[in-house]
Amino acid sequence: MATKTRKPSVTVKVQFNRHFKPYNECRQRYRLAKGSAGSGKSVNTAQDYILKLGDPQYKGANLLCVRKVAESNKDSTYAELKSAIYKIHGENYEKFWIIRSSPMELESKVTGNKVIFRGMKDDGQREKVKSITFDKGKLTWIWVEEATELYEADVDILDDRLRGSLDFNPFLYYQMTFTFNPVSATHWLKAKYFDTKHPDIFTHQSTYLQNRFIDDAYHRRMMMRKDRDPDGYRIYGEGEWGESGGMILTNYSVEEFDRHPDRFDYMVNAQDFGFNHANAIGEIGFKDGNL
């Protein structure tokens, strides 16, 4: 008589930050976790995915993890997901997950769901993303870590991969997750997902102060940063949009004044090519050697 191989049952003991409960439960197509350093957003995201991918309810789901540079996944998404597996399943993790390092890949023994890792550094890597397929199920979820590294065109390519009927499992849904520090208020992520209200967009903000696992020493370190680098603290402490690095002038005021050419000894136009904005032309007037 043939004996069926019994798959291990999933028993988990993991503590979440309650602040992420709505984020973990949302099913909108675009899920964005904007937060400070140490807020726990990446750790939470990794644990959320490991629990879902190992749950028979989500059989047929597969996850693609993306960084701008593919190799960066090793010490970020891949490391976080492995850590989540160890935390959730403890010493028995090998009963539940197969962990492959070359190439990096994770596979649930319970559901057969997989996790793969890719980059979007150049046209070659972008083309590889376009041809992703899975033996079982479909690509349903994409996690973009350090999402501010990617161009909008990169995300459009990824977004196009989430399509087709999921009728084979009514519990499945398509979703892109973005985790990042809000380094620039002029970043396209803000304009596309935060400045626009849309039923398919879910945004979430977190700070290290809402992370119950943060130690007192880290909090004191952040208070030192707040005193020494208020602009950096706004981003990495408060999780708010700001500017970090590359700013030349910060201590200035904007006022109206008489700009008629007769007021100046001479005037010039200066052009600057930038990253966030294609170019800027500024008109400058000099009087008695002063700008």
Separation between Cα atoms, residue 205 and residue 32, nearest integer Å: 8
Q: What domains lie within the chain, and their CATH numbers?
A: 18-214 (3.40.50.300)
pLDDT 10s digits, 98-108: 999 999 999 99
pLDDT 10s digits, 143-202: 999 999 999 999 999 999 999 999 999 999 999 999 999 988 999 999 999 999 999 999
Q: Which residue has the tokens 């540079």?
A: 69
**Would the pLDDT of 245 be above 80?**
no
pLDDT 10s digits, 27-62: 999 999 999 999 999 999 999 999 999 999 999 999
**What is the value of pTM for the model shown?**
0.80
What would the two tokens of residue 223 be? 């208070």
Share of the chain above pLDDT 70, in %: 90
Ramachandran angles phi, psi of 206, nearest 5°? -145, 155
Residue, of 4 and 143, whose pLDDT is higher: 143
Q: Taking Cα atoms as reference points, which of 71, 6, 19 lies closest to residue 45? A: 19
Whole-number pLDDT of residue 231? 85
Whole-number pLDDT of residue 273? 77
Confidence grade of residue 2 (pLDDT, cut at 50, 70, 90): very low
Average pLDDT over residues 135-147: 97
**Would the pLDDT of 94 be above 90?**
yes
Separation between Cα atoms, residue 32 and residue 239, nearest integer Å: 13
User: Beta partners for 279?
Assistant: 273
**Would the pLDDT of 5 be above 70?**
no
Q: What is the 3-state secondary structure (H, E, C) of 236-286?
A: HCCCCCCCCCCCCCCCCCCCCCCCCHHHCCEEEEEEEECCCCCEEEEEEEE
Whole-number pLDDT of residue 212? 87
| Long-range pairs of 13-17 with CB within 8 A, sequence gap ≥ 24 | 13/88, 14/47, 14/51, 14/84, 14/87, 14/88, 16/44, 16/47, 17/44, 17/206, 17/210, 17/211, 17/212, 17/213
Whole-number pLDDT of residue 250? 60
DSSP type of residue 3: -
* Other residues' Cβ atoms within 10 Å of the Cβ of residue 101: 9
Whole-number pLDDT of residue 282? 86
Separation between Cα atoms, residue 189 and residue 282, nearest integer Å: 27
Separation between Cα atoms, residue 111 and residue 60, nearest integer Å: 7
Average pLDDT over residues 212-229: 90
User: Beta partners for 46?
Assistant: none
Cα 145 to Cα 1, 33, 55, 238, distances in angstroms: 49, 10, 23, 19
Mean pLDDT, rounded, of the chain: 90
